[in-house]
Amino acid sequence: MFDTPLDIMLTIGLVILSISTLGLVYRVIKGPSVPDRVMGLDSIGINLIGITAITSIILRTDAFLEVILLIGIIAFVGTVAFSKFLQKGEIFDRDRSN
């Protein structure tokens, strides 16, 4: 498993990211307010990008590049949608003319 020094470095990075994800999960669960949770979730998304990238290096494959891009987009769209929801109470405006 740990064939090269690179692999060791990558594993350490992965562990750090995992721990930080666990911390974020704690924030998502505990988070006193909803924006805390949304921020936690957004950060988990970013962490997921990192984890996916490191994992694909470990797995020596480029098949997960789309996943990385997708997570980025989704995290953005999701956070924006959530923010709009928190701000206005709805995600899609019913009346387009406004």
Contact set with another protein (CB under 8 A): 1, 11, 14-15, 18, 21-22, 25, 28-29, 34, 37, 41, 44-45, 48, 51-52, 55-56, 59, 61, 63-64, 66-67, 70-71, 74, 77-78, 81-82, 85, 89-91, 94-95
Closest residue by Cα to residue 49 from 27, 31, 61, 66 = 66
Q: How far is the CB of 5 from another protein (least distance, A)?
A: 17
Q: How far is the CB of 4 from another protein (least distance, A)?
A: 17
Residue 27 vs residues 15, 44, 91: alpha-carbon distances, Å: 18, 10, 24
Nearer to another protein, 9 or 81 (CB): 81
Q: How far is the CB of 55 from another protein (least distance, A)?
A: 6
CB-based burial label for 24 (10 Å; 0-12, 13-18, 19+)? buried
Q: Measured in Å, how far apart are the chain's first and last C-alpha atoms?
A: 58
Nearer to another protein, 87 or 94 (CB): 94
Alpha carbons 60 and 36: distance in angstroms, whole number: 36
